[in-house]
Amino acid sequence: MNSFFALFPLLIIVFAALLVLILEVFLKKENKNYLAYISLAFLITCFVVCIKFWNRGYSYFNGNLILDNLSLFLISILILATGFVFLLSMKYISLQNTNYGEFYALLLLALSGVIIMVSSKDLLVIFLGLEVLSISSYALAGLRRDDQKSSEAAIKYFLLGSFATAFLVFGLALLYGSSHSTDISTIIQYFQSEQSLTLMALFGLGMVIIAFGFKIAFVPFHMWTPDVYQGAPTPITAFFSVVPKAAGFTILLRIFLFYWDIALDSQAIFWLLWVISALTMVVGNLLALRQTNLKRILAYSSIAHAGYLLVAILARDNSSLVFYLTVYLFMNMGAFAAVIALSKKDKEYLELEDYAGIGFRYPWIGVTFSIFLLSLAGFPPTGGFLAKFFVFSAAVRQGLVPLVIIAVLASLISVFYYMRIIVYMYMKEPSYNIEITVDNPALFLVLFLCLYGVLQLGLYPGNILLLIKQAVSSIPLL
Amino acid sequence: MNFPILTFITFIPLVGAVLLIFIHRDKEDLLRYISLGIVLVAFVFSLFLYFSFNAETPEPQFVEKKPWLAYGIEYHLGIDGISLFLVLLTTFLMPIILLSSWRYIRKRVKEYLILMLILETGIIGVFVSLNLFLFYVFWEAMLIPMYFLIGVWGGKRRIYATLKYVLFTMLGSLLMLVAIFFLHSMYYKAMGVYSLNLFDYYNLILNPGIQIWLFLAFALAFAIKVPLFPFHTWLPDAHVEAPTAGSVILAAVLLKMGVYGFLRFALPLFPDAVMTFLPFLSILCLIGIIYGGLMALVQKDIKSLVAYSSVSHMGLIMLAIFALNVEGVEGAIYQMLNHGLSTGALFLIVGILYERAHTRMIKDFGGVSKQMPVFAAFFLICMLSSVGLPGLNGFIGEILCLFGIFQANKIYAILGVTTVILAAWYLLWMYQRVMQGPITNEKILSFKDMNKREIGYILPIVIMMFWMGIYPNTFLRKMDSSVTHLLNKIKERGIIFTKAQKDKDVVLKIEHKTEKKNTEKEEQFR
């Protein structure tokens, strides 16, 4: 239904971003937390709006911006993720001296970019959203301007991100050249017709995949990830590890929803993705083995998880992809929340050595962090296991047995490094004791919510599965 | 009966664990008494299972079945004559294990007890699940508390041992997971509906070529757990480094999960593949029997001696199962219980010695029996039970196993007997060096004999040893019909496929064996 309502979520977020930017000027430094409260209020409003719009199917701008159930579900997920990031940042930015007013505004702008991305099926509009997201992200990565690592992260992210954008535009041009459209469904339909199918179109599609591969961090386009994750302020890292990935996968989902069924020559792209997926899982997990910095470990782990998610794309099981993304949001946010918890004024504890013995000194942080790590490793009865179960069983149903064997062996490797963190927390005697700031209720709220999410999704996801089914089936058939 | 008794027994320890979280860590004795009370409740209720168990029918009893998630994932519990005793073994040993670590575990008592209770839930869950998803959830979830038990309360090389244990087990079970996915998808393609129900899979008849791969994946997972010969290397490490309670639980119950997996999943699901691999697996068992026994002979550490004796004994149990006859399989199940009791008791004995001497090296002991006469008597009984002395439980189990093996293959039986000879050799020799002779070490002079608590927890085991040795029918008659049914299923299905195979040479052939189809097919082949 063509209606102005389709713009509501986007407008709310953009308005909030601008409002925060203006208000920032009038607030004293110690009152900056109000900005977070205001933003959170807007996020909640937007969340409610998304729930209200469920099943309405609004669209605007000639269908270039659509709020089908899939985009609504993903927008809600992304709002949740951003909300968690806000809660994690409130104390963090004053402790780590990153208390700049742009912080919240940039986050909200990045979110608005993602909302554009997930709620469009025109690649040109998606490109606009991607640019909004990217430019805010570059600024966010370099937010700690006195820190060399942070600046390095920003530059790296910017350079490689620009390459990715260039790839996207180039691929888009090739696709437009062959199919005379930038609309995903038209492009995919083009792949159906035999006479006009050219190498150019395939090449264009490959380029688009590569461009999103940069954002999602597939191997071999992952090089920037660990450095950027390490350099960026930790809540921003949490944001990077969930939000752009989810958006990227939504685009891939929209592209490949019908591609496998109708494309005449889908083999080339299929094997391209197959190899990328296998490489991503194996390389991501292997490289994580040698890391000693928590943020780098989580960076490589997030690369590996992108590989598992790609298995879902290859398995054509969109609901398990969305379910995996949902679970991934909770477990990864939770893990980062635990990492952020271990910090004090002007000091973050990020080396494995720092974690020795904290499991018993801070039992709640230890237990919850362990559960998130076990969930990331795919142990039952957590959400991580159920997500992997759905994805891999769908893949086996599609006959991707070798890929699934690679996937489970890769997750065996991952067990080792996730367990290593637990070994440090519980089984090593500390050579020195760290002091942390425990007075951080917002952070503990995030820990609790993520714990709840991980366990609920692992034991009885019930309605969520139903919602996801509705979301995925809401996409109009070609 | 409406009361969900299996759910109750499975989850009461977990409820207890949650309860313990809210009790202050300084009230250590309160924590201990509460957890002891909870495992006793679980034990009492499992006794009820035994008494109201109907031995006539092979069908699973006390069944609970509720829809849970999509894709055929159901909450489906039930026990038959095989799992009944493994559940009983677990609930029986749990209070003993808690009592044995009553004073030994001094640091982080609260965490220790919580993990123990979670572990019990995981173990019982494995034995009562009839849905493959549920089974896998318990199978994996149970690793986590064990990982912590070895890793936090273990010896010097505990981190190495615990990571090795977890990674070995995960390797097997992840490949098994892929095999489960494969079964799942084949069932879906054949029937058009999703199911993870074990009994639905029993009715699938798979092409032998596919069975081989699936069987290998399942067998690897279970063989690592048992452990069969080349996959046993994690066991001595884990045993030596684990605290006494961990060793007891590992030897007495966790190893049985592997055997149980073979009985419940690998054998009945893939009968043709079993026939193919039977000689190969039997030889692995034989190597395990002899190798384990010889390794036990040369160990300097009492605990690793007992650990290697486990490798040898588990080899015999597996060999008896691969005999695929009633004597063999019943003997194997009986021997599983015996092994649980006697090896568990031996680890407890080693623990008692260790608490006094803070060493487990054989050379540090000598003449202990003079100082600890009561202890010496208990040690002797447990040791002889493990050796298989007539009148004690080990004898019945071993003789049944060997009867079964002898019927299947005489050479295996002759080689298999070495387990008894070797066991007598290394255990008696160890007993002689530790307990008898002159007192070599003046530290031994200060040893106190067993206290009431220690006698209290060894005594039930010893009583059970005599009971099982003198009147085995209490236990054997409850498992008859289940075992016969299981074996029939394996043999009958093997025959059906060999017939079908001659007729059709399809690459992937899945037939659903409903009553009707089955009779049709029988006629067709006649």
What DSSP string describes B467-493?
A: HHHH-THHHHHHHHHHHHHHHHHHHHH
Pairing relationship of beta strands B204-205 and A347-348 according to DSSP bridges: unpaired
- In angstroms and rounded to an integer, the radius of gyration of the C-alpha atoms of chain A is 21
Range among A24-28, A113-117, B190-194 with highest mean pLDDT value = A113-117
pLDDT score for B501: 53
Number of domains in chain B: 1
| CB atoms near residue A437 (< 10 Å) | 15
CA atoms within 13 A of residue A357's CA, in its CB half-sphere: 8
Sign of CA dihedral B4, B5, B6, B12: positive
B516 pLDDT exceeds 50?
A: no
Segment among A190-194, A245-249, B321-325, B352-356 with least mean pLDDT: A190-194
Instruction: Note whether A464 contacts B: Cβ–Cβ < 8 A.
Output: no
Instruction: Calculate the average pLDDT of chain B.
Output: 86
Question: Interior CA angle at B185 toward A391 and B133, to 5°?
Answer: 65
Instruction: For residue B335, give every residue at least 6 positions away whose Cβ sits within 8 Å of its Cβ, in sequence order, or none.
Output: B313, B316, B317, B320, B394, B397, B398, B400, B401
Interface test with B, best of A388, A427, A457 (most B CBs within 10 A): A427
pLDDT score for A30: 74
Interface test with B, best of A322, A352, A379 (most B CBs within 10 A): A379
Q: Find, among A136, A154, A137, the residue nearest to A145 by Cα.
A: A154
Segment among A8-12, B91-95, B367-371, B402-406 with least mean pLDDT: B367-371
DSSP state of B3: S
Question: How far out from the chain centre does Cα B91 lie?
Answer: 13
Interface test with B, best of A393, A421, A466 (most B CBs within 10 A): A393
pLDDT score for B525: 43
Q: Are A191 and A197 in contact (CB under 8 A)?
A: yes
Question: How far out from the chain centre does Cα B157 lie?
Answer: 25
Q: Are B97 and B40 in contact (CB under 8 A)?
A: no
- Tell me the nearest-neighbour CA distance from B471 into chain A, angstroms: 41
- Mean per-residue pLDDT for A71-78? 92
**Contact residues, chain B, for A390 at CB < 8 Å:** 71
**Contact residues, chain B, for A428 at CB < 8 Å:** 159
Using CB atoms, pick whichever of B159, B167, B188 lies closest to residue A423: B159
pLDDT tens by residue, B337-383:
999 999 999 999 998 888 888 888 888 888 888 888 888 999 999 99
CB contact under 8 A, B167 and A405: no
- In angstroms and rounded to an integer, the radius of gyration of the C-alpha atoms of chain B is 23
Position B1 confidence tier, pLDDT thresholds 50, 70, 90: low
Q: Are A338 and A447 in contact (CB under 8 A)?
A: yes
pLDDT score for B523: 44
Position B524 confidence tier, pLDDT thresholds 50, 70, 90: very low
Q: Are B261 and B320 in contact (CB under 8 A)?
A: no
Q: Find, among A73, A198, A200, A97, the residue nearest to A468 by Cα.
A: A73
Return the exposure string of B408-436: e unless at least 16 CB atoms fall within 10 Å of the residue's CB, then b: bbeebbebbbbbbebbbbbbeebbebbbe
- Mean per-residue pLDDT for A90-101? 81
Let me know if residue B326 belongs to a domain. yes
pLDDT score for B103: 80
B517 pLDDT exceeds 50?
A: no
**Nearest-CA residue of chain A relative to B108?**
A360
* Element containing residue B453 per DSSP (H, E): helix B452-470
CB contact under 8 A, A412 and B188: no
pLDDT tens by residue, B152-195:
888 888 899 999 999 999 999 999 999 999 988 888 888 888 88
What DSSP string describes B103-127?
A: TT--SSHHHHHHHHHHHHHHHHHHH
Q: Are B118 and B17 in contact (CB under 8 A)?
A: yes
CB contact under 8 A, B159 and A461: no
DSSP state of A58: E
pLDDT score for B133: 92
Per the structure, the complete domain to which residue B470 belongs is given by 152-517
| Dist. CA B516–CA B425, nearest whole Å | 57
Instruction: Calculate the average pLDDT of chain A.
Output: 89
Let me know if residue B108 belongs to a domain. no
Position A197 confidence tier, pLDDT thresholds 50, 70, 90: low
Let me know if residue B471 belongs to a domain. yes
Q: Are B105 and B112 in contact (CB under 8 A)?
A: yes
pLDDT tens by residue, B15-61:
999 998 888 888 888 889 999 999 999 999 999 988 888 888 888 88
- Tell me the nearest-neighbour CA distance from B7 into chain A, angstroms: 15
pLDDT tens by residue, A276-298:
999 999 999 999 998 999 999 99
Q: Find, among B412, B107, B63, B121, the residue nearest to B249 by Cα.
A: B121
DSSP state of B253: I
B506 pLDDT exceeds 50?
A: no
| Dist. CA B148–CA B151, nearest whole Å | 5
pLDDT tens by residue, A422-475:
999 988 888 888 888 888 889 999 999 999 999 999 888 888 888 888 888 877
| Dist. CA A427–CA A420, nearest whole Å | 10
pLDDT tens by residue, B228-278:
888 888 998 999 899 888 899 998 899 999 999 999 988 888 888 888 888
DSSP lists the bridge partners of residue B197 as: B131
Amino acid at B230: P
User: What are the sequence ranges of the domains in chain A?
Assistant: 4-473
B502 pLDDT exceeds 60?
A: no
**Contact residues, chain A, for B71 at CB < 8 Å:** 390, 393
pLDDT score for B108: 86
pLDDT score for B197: 87
What DSSP string describes A397-420?
A: HTT-HHHHHHHHHHHHHHHHHHHH
Helix H, strand E, coil C: the string for B15-82 is: HHHHHHHCCCCCCHHHHHHHHHHHHHHHHHHHHHHHHCCCCCCCCCEEEEEEECCCCCCEEEEEECHH
CB contact under 8 A, B178 and A461: no
Let me know if residue B94 belongs to a domain. no
Percent above pLDDT 70 for chain A = 98
pLDDT score for B518: 45
| Dist. CA A336–CA A289, nearest whole Å | 18
Position B521 confidence tier, pLDDT thresholds 50, 70, 90: very low
Q: Are A254 and A184 in contact (CB under 8 A)?
A: yes
Sign of CA dihedral B333, B335, B338, B340: negative
| Dist. CA A71–CA A115, nearest whole Å | 8
Question: Interior CA angle at A300 toward A299 and A305, to 5°?
Answer: 100
Position A194 confidence tier, pLDDT thresholds 50, 70, 90: low
**Contact residues, chain A, for B194 at CB < 8 Å:** none
Whole-Å CA distances, B487 to B269, B480, B490 = 12, 11, 5
